[in-house]
Amino acid sequence: MTMSDDDILAPRRSRSEGSPRAASSGKQARGPIIDQEGQEIRPETLEQGFREFRFEFGQASPFGNLTREQRIARLEAIAKLLDVAFILPGTNIRYGIDGLIGLIPVVGDIITTAISLWLVREARALGAPWYITARMLGNVAVDGVVGLVPFAGDAFDVMFRANMRNVRLLQRWLEKQPRM
């Protein structure tokens, strides 16, 4: 059942109008709409806001339209989360959720490899040439294949840090590019 914009903005009839509970209470929810600061919100303002709010599936990126710098910052943040987000207590060894998720046999390695491949895809979308993406894919492949080995592969994941390597590759390439 789909509703038109008019039904959403100005419903023809409230669900509670015909119910016995509304008739017995004798009260309907009427009155001004108050925001968090105690200011009254005019109905015209709400209607205009609802008209401007649209979400169409398949038309836009789920992350919105980000600038190049924002996309690079997002890649860096995800790579840090995957590879160096935490410190092993009592040591100076850094690890991320890649090492933790990788402890789940096979499924964990598939999940982290898929996230790593998404990072490579984002680098390609930023304009990285084929030889950079090929090296990035090589890092992901080594990390994914060796990560399948129980325990030793997880230790390798922690030390190899394929996602951080890939972000550094991308950053070095971006530094050499002329600014537009």
pLDDT tens digits, 103-143: 888 899 899 999 999 999 999 998 899 999 999 999 999 99
Q: What is the mean pLDDT of residues 80-88?
A: 92
CA gap 141, 152 in Å, rounded: 16
Give the 3-state DSSP-derived string for 97-165, with helices as H, strands as E and coil as C. Answer: HHHHHCCCCCHHHHHHHHHHHHHHHHHHHCCCCHHHHHHHHHHHHHHHHHHCCCCHHHHHHHHHCHHHH
Task: Output the average pLDDT for the chain.
Answer: 80
Range in 49-58, 81-90, 155-164 the model is least confident about: 49-58
What is the model's pLDDT at position 161?
Answer: 92
What is the model's pLDDT at position 28?
Answer: 59
Range in 2-6, 67-71, 144-148, 170-174 the model is least confident about: 2-6
176 secondary structure, DSSP code: H
Domain segments of the chain: what residues? 68-176
Would the pLDDT of 17 be above 70?
Answer: no
- Which of 73, 66, 67, 61 is CA-nearest to residue 170? 73
Torsion of CA 152, 153, 157, 159, to 10 degrees: 30
- Which of 7, 9, 176, 166 is CA-nearest to residue 78? 166
Would the pLDDT of 22 be above 50?
Answer: no
In the three-class reduction of DSSP (H, G, I as helix; E, B as strand; rest coil), residue 81 is classed as helix
Would the pLDDT of 172 be above 90?
Answer: yes
CA gap 137, 119 in Å, rounded: 10
The answer to whether 165 and 120 have CB atoms below 8 angstroms apart is no
- Which of 167, 117, 122 is CA-nearest to residue 144? 117
Range in 6-20, 27-41, 81-95, 150-164 the model is least confident about: 6-20
Q: How confident is the model at residue 154 (pLDDT cuts 50, 70, 90)?
A: confident
